[in-house]
Chain A
């Protein structure tokens, strides 16, 4: 069985401040991990993903995430928030024991204050 927990349904940051979105997973085997972003009234777009290899993954728009197996976490960060980062962010996992179906977390809404 697997599940994804995103801590904090809403995160508000000031422009230029650090963005930190938390994601923890429960999985019996190392999963594949994804972060997707959804801008208002749009579909989801991949920010980054971890499959194998280097545990620090860099994505688009200055985002990065680190896979920490010991903490079963895949937190998303961006050093300096921009107004355009306001969106809904989803952590997702897939693994062979679940037919590689993407299971999404509940999402975190990010607002950026000027």
Chain B
């Protein structure tokens, strides 16, 4: 069974559209994350949730809205998509927020905005 899964794997859409990416983990972890990997493969954290509570909210446009319906799920909704949103988005999870925990990453969602 996949530990951290994301859907869809690929997403091609037009500028201005609204889209969602879903993430689920079956590891029993309390903490989940969203990362953005740009075309140069640079990885940057966007959000983190612990027990459904928002912990980290980096300087991300408010067009991006994460939602955690339960500890096992963290979805990412993006409004009014822009060309610059094209990237690979990774979901990850860990047991906690003490900084020493291993983060387990999903396979990524490749978003292309045309």
Contact = CB atoms under 8 A, between A and B. Distances in A.
A106 interface: yes
Chain A interface residue bracket vs B: 20 to 34
Interface in B54-81: 55-56
Interface residues of B, number: 23
Contacts, number: 53
A74 to B, nearest CB: 15
Interface string A35-78: 01010011111100101000000000000000000000000000
A44 B102 CA distance: 11
Nearest to B102: A46
3 tightest Cβ-Cβ pairs between the two chains A and B: A100-B99, A43-B105, A94-B99
Interface of A: 32, 36, 38, 41-46, 49, 51, 88, 90, 94-96, 99-102, 104, 106-107
